[in-house]
Structure 1
Amino acid sequence: MNDYQWFIENIKRKTGIDLAQYKEAQMKRRLTSLYEKRGLKNFQEFFHAMEKDEALFHEFLDRMTINVSEFYRNAKRWEVLEKKILPKLFEQNRRLKIWSAACSTGEEPYTVAMILSKYIPLAHVSILATDIDENAIARAKIGLYTERSLQEIPEEMKKKFFKKEGMYYQIDEKIKRAVTFKKHNLLADPFGRQFDLIVCRNVLIYFTEEAKQQLYYKFNQALRPGGILFVGSTEQIFNPALYGFEIEDTFFYRKIK
């Protein structure tokens, strides 16, 4: 067993996270740069160091899950959600059940809440947002963001839902209350059911093909008939019918009834 395989087995035993389902070359490169920065020589040293240092463990999770996010990332896709997808979903149900999967530090579910606020009172909005990284979830709950995170956000939304505090922007409490954050491992934990919309963007690209295929099936099962899966702009599903989906728009997939 090589050094990295030993690391994979011990991480799975410790956390339930199966690194074998992530693309190996990418993951090894990312984690090697982290442990070398700390003056460690190999994955075994890295694992033992994490057992003693909680901050290093959270840094590992951050590096593993690529917590890079921003509001309205790839803004044109959010416009499609607002103008085309949501009106159709609202025809069937005014109280949508929504899940933001692998939500990182919260920009994505908060973007969904802001868009929904144009259609319905925020008091009627309830979004489940999940991530494997408890540190990212803690930051999401605080709701404090840098200027860079707000680059693509429409100016009226920025004025309405953010207050500048020094170098940061604090998101409005009404938006925060619309989102419930929970820890969840996409590859290991059970999924909910009967969602109208699942947003899972810019995470599937890090998984192996086998892991991705499993997730497409699981997302399909988690949606109600006619529900929508919204993926990232490098995550096109090339044979959606194989997983029970049809193309609704670019990067939007409808569960076949």
Structure 2
Amino acid sequence: MNEKSLYSSPYDDKEYVWLLDNIARHFQLDLRGYKQHRVRRRIDMLMRKYSYKDYKTYFEDLRKDGKLWDEFLDKLTINVTEFFRNPEKWDYLKKHILPKILKERSTKTKIWSAGCSTGEEPYTHAIILEELNAPKNIKVLATDLDKFVLQKAKRGIYSERSMINVPEDIRKKYFRKVDNETYEVLSHVKNRVVFKQHNLLMDKFESDIDLISCRNVVIYFDMDAKNKLYKNFANSLRSGGVLFVGSTERIFNYKSLGLEVIEPFFYQKVSD
């Protein structure tokens, strides 16, 4: 089954291609690498909401109306996450990956949470750094395309749903209970994380990184975008650096990227 058969749009196909090209050019938001049946369905829903008849008229209003663009960005990004998602993987990271990195690199350690969404993942990294008594100057770079989720992440306030995998002792040490259903990350954990807006498909990557986590993000990309992204991640890692992916994601061509599997969903850059 191809993507075209997954969703049939009432709007013009050629004009849709034009829309994506112009959004990439004008807003520096490249949606062309995502699975298009999902992207187009969401765009069409927004257009129907405001009774637009064609993509060109919608695009012109996106350029003029900040609120319309903000809604577009919010609906087109996917932000579902939680602390310690797949706890056994984080346990492996804490026991086997990070101690070795910290021993080798000490204060030079560089960690990147790519596609960090509302912040649960980078704060999980920060909590583990605290648990390992890592030097205070070691920060987690946390990036996402969506400025709204970054704003939420900086606030560090979460519902019970996000906390489902957080052990009680960790809750007490690193969170403040706001009310019966809400928790706030404590300030010394927040201080471990630096948030930044970043487009994985268009922006430059940093280099010499020790640990990159990009989990449950790549599943929304098409195959060409996935291959490009994994190649860029591999190039960003230092020799011996580790890429941590989601539990539904596998890199089948990891050997050609100079990576090896050290544990399911953990890939290490082969030493030079």
Give the length in aligned residue pairs: 257
1: CA distance, partners of 2:262 / 2:42: 35
When the two structures are superposed, what TM-score results if normalisation uses the length of structure 2? Answer: 0.88
Q: Which runs of 5+ in 1 are unaligned?
A: none
After TM superposition, the structure 1 = structure 2 runs for residues 1-257 of structure 1, keeping only pairs within 5 Å, are 2-95=14-107, 96-121=109-134, 123-166=136-179, 167-257=181-271
1:8-52 alpha-carbon deviations (Å, 9 max, x no partner): 022112211121111111211233234334444443444344334
Cα deviation, residue 69, structure 1: 1.5
CA contact (8 A) 2:102 2:134 kept: no
2: CA distance, partners of 1:57 / 1:79: 40
2: CA distance, partners of 1:151 / 1:30: 29
1: CA distance, partners of 2:88 / 2:47: 38
Write the letter of the residue equivalent to 2:267.
Answer: Y
2: CA distance, partners of 1:168 / 1:37: 32
Cα deviation, residue 203, structure 1: 0.8
When the two structures are superposed, what TM-score results if normalisation uses the length of structure 1? Answer: 0.93
Please provide the CA RMSD for this pair. 1.8
CA contact (8 A) 1:100 1:130 kept: yes
> Structure 1 pair 255/49, CA: closer, same or farther in 2 (3 Å)?
same
Q: Which runs of 5+ in 2 are unaligned?
A: 1-12
